[in-house]
């Protein structure tokens, strides 16, 4: 390209920049979606672990409560 670019060349440059920008935006959108899914999966895993701990804790509490009730009946 010598001198000033023609309108066709300018249009081609603008179209190429737009195409690259759209590709970058799509790539970023996909990456952000994957990161969001990973965060949601991790949060769900932590919630499930916490739920299981709470259920286990309640089961243990229930066992102690039952044992205490039985001891009170005997005593």
pLDDT in tens, 8-66: 999 999 999 999 999 999 999 999 999 999 999 999 999 999 888 877 666 655 555 55
How far apart CA 45 and CA 39 sit, in angstroms, is 10
For residues 58, 63, 65, 70, the Cα torsion angle rounded to the nearest 10 degrees is: 170
Q: What is the pLDDT of residue 60?
A: 57
**Does the reported pTM lie above 0.85?**
no
Q: What is the pLDDT of residue 59?
A: 62
Has residue 72 got a pLDDT over 80? no
Cβ(20)–Cβ(12) below 8 Å: no
How far apart CA 25 and CA 21 sit, in angstroms, is 6
Q: What separation, in Å, do the N-terminal and C-terminal C-alpha atoms of the chain show?
A: 102
Question: Which residue ranges make up each domain of the chain?
Answer: 1-50
């Amino acid at each position: 390209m010598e001198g000033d670019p023609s309108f066709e060349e300018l249009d081609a440059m603008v179209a190429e920049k737009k195409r690259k920008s759209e590709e970058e935006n799509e790539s970023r959108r996909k990456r952000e979606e994957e990161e969001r899914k990973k965060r949601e999966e991790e949060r769900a895993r932590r919630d499930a672990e916490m739920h299981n701990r709470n259920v286990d804790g309640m089961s243990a509490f229930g066992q102690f409560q039952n044992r205490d009730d039985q001891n009170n009946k005997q005593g």
